[in-house]
Structure 1
Amino acid sequence: MSTENAATPDADAVRDWRHWHEQRTETVSAPYGPLSLTGTHWLADHPDGSIPDIPGRWAETPDGVVLTARAEDGLTVDGQPLTGEVLLGADSGPVAAARVRHGERRLVVIHREGLWAVRDFDPDADARRAFKGIDATAYDARWAVPGRFTPYGESRTVRVGNADGKERGLGLGGELSFRLGGVEHTLQVSVEGDGSLWAVFADATSGISSYHFRFLRPTAPDAEGRTTVDFNRALLPPCAFADHFICPFPPPGNTLVTEVAAGERNLLDG
């Protein structure tokens, strides 16, 4: 049987990576993707309940956010015009399905370390209209290597700087070790609800030929802690697309001395 047209493992990986990159571009440029975020408004900074350019009165309480609106404010909650007040919890679903809307805008309530904020997503955001694409390095099998996850005895929290200039806690569940370019590396990682891993890392290209830091999301390790560390799928953090995200910086030890010339690097210039 001829194998002339059979896909090699590398060809399969290249095809999968291209599909991933296309989907990623579609996701970030979607009407309510990260490019559409125009503001994150911490209610503690607005004690009178008035948020610039957002109608209604927003007041944080121990139980959630109380939103008060008049008919002329044009706000809807769960698809119905709001007149009066409603208690809102944190929106955990897709931005497009946010409970509070103002025309095409989605007003998303978030909760971080005891503080409440409202995020304003607008499909007509300047950043979304100016988007040209993501500069990503083509797939190279050398950047996909075996890794081993070692959980901590108990979860740890470290304080790290965030993109908005404040320090916040970052939960860490263990260490991911791997060998890259003949050098042993270790990253501190968080464990997501589905068992997958999440690392915030920098490397020798950060701030030079790549964004200041990036995310990595390896699949859930098996029973022996084995997973694949694939830097071809290194991600730009949300704050690369909009200044109003509060992305955490890499924790101590997560800056690699190796140049990771792989994955998403920057936004494409016009």
Structure 2
Amino acid sequence: MSTDAQRNQQAGGPDGAAQEWQRWHEERVLAVAAPYGPLSLTGTHWLSDYPDGRIPAVPGQWREDGDEVVLTATAEDGIVVDGKPLTGEVRLGADSGPVDDSRVARGDRRLVVLRREGLWAVRDFDPASPPRHAFSTIDATPYDPDWALPGTFRPYPEAQAVRVPNADGVERGLGLGGEIVFTVDGEEHTLRAAVEPDGSLWAVFADATSGNGSYRFRFLRPGAPAADGGVTVDFNRALLPPCAFADHFICPFPPPGNTLTVPVPAGERNRLDA
């Protein structure tokens, strides 16, 4: 039995699953609205666009040096690194933890170092961002047990990589580890999925509601498959991607084959502002 199916069983059947989904939904809204949630991202600044190291919206001077970024600051920049004011130079790697644990800060802002395909960037998270304060909630369809579907994960003999457009208009690689197979109204469908380090799955998909009742694409994160490949494909937990909350994320679009021909009227649909 898959992790998701076990959770639904332990929750006490459909009513328990609906209550568990409601808790999940409320936690999602809180996480999105948190001070350093996705709504607080005000910019992703690629260092290659600033050869002199001066990013207009970000204090300090930032330059690439091989596998590190060198940040130089004066007292006037007001930058803090590891909790101490920076006057001089520090070498940084890519941040991998929560945003609020990033090494670099300026007041309430967090300056997060990012690396993608050999390119370096600085992300600026500001709790005072207008989108965060305009946010109301996530529009999501109430739990429907008919959209918690049994499925099977079929791993590829070897991991694959495809190039897909990203939300910022740049094409990047997307690693894929296999296909999730499931049935809707008697018709078989598949989603190509990545395998996360903990064994869980991640699929980027669109469907017949995308751009017409729901965001243009969504994420699905099933738990790790069972030993026989069984996995619950729970579209009730379809997620809005980070770029639905801030334009500065670089979310991948669905890879070829991941646009479902059927409507999926379940899960998160859109961001709602006050």
In which range does the TM-score fall when normalised by the shorter chain?
A: over 0.9
Map Cα deviations across residues 153-204 of structure 1 (whole Å, 9 max, x no partner): 1111100000000100000000000011221100000000100000000000
Cα separation, partners in 2 of 1:8 and 1:167, compared to 1, 3 Å: same
> For residues 169 and 32 of structure 1, what CA distance do their matches in structure 2 show?
27
**Number of equivalences:** 264
Deviation at 1:9, TM superposition (A): 0.7
2:222 aligned residue (211, 218, 224): 218
Q: Say whether 1:41 aligns with 2:40.
A: no
2:206 aligned residue (198, 202, 205): 202
Deviation at 1:8, TM superposition (A): 5.1
1:19 aligned residue (10, 23, 30): 23
1:186 aligned residue (186, 190, 202): 190
Report the TM-score, using the length of structure 1 for normalisation.
Answer: 0.97
Opposite residue 157 of structure 1, the aligned amino acid is A
Secondary structure of the equivalent of 1:205? coil
For CA contacts below 8 A with separation 6 or more, give which structure has more relative contact order. 2
Map Cα deviations across residues 203-237 of structure 1 (whole Å, 9 max, x no partner): 00000000000000000001111110000000000
Name which of structure 1's ranges 235-244 and 8-17 shifts more when overlaid on structure 2: 8-17
> For residues 237 and 8 of structure 1, what CA distance do their matches in structure 2 show?
30
Opposite residue 200 of structure 1, the aligned amino acid is V
Equivalence for 1:230: 234
> For residues 183 and 16 of structure 1, what CA distance do their matches in structure 2 show?
28
Q: Say whether 1:68 aligns with 2:69.
A: no
RMSD (Å), alpha carbons? 0.8
- Unmatched 5+ stretches in structure 1: 1-6
Q: Say whether 1:122 aligns with 2:126.
A: yes
Runs of 4+ in 1 over 2 A off after TM superposition: none
Deviation at 1:13, TM superposition (A): 0.5
Equivalence for 1:260: 264
Q: Say whether 1:157 aligns with 2:140.
A: no
Deviation at 1:269, TM superposition (A): 4.1
1:95 aligned residue (99, 112, 123): 99
Contact 2:152/2:181 (8 A) holds in 1: yes
Equivalence for 1:4: none
Report the TM-score, using the length of structure 2 for normalisation.
Answer: 0.95
Deviation at 1:63, TM superposition (A): 1.7
- Unmatched 5+ stretches in structure 2: 1-10
> For residues 73 and 185 of structure 2, what CA distance do their matches in structure 1 show?
58
Opposite residue 178 of structure 2, the aligned amino acid is G
Opposite residue 42 of structure 2, the aligned amino acid is T
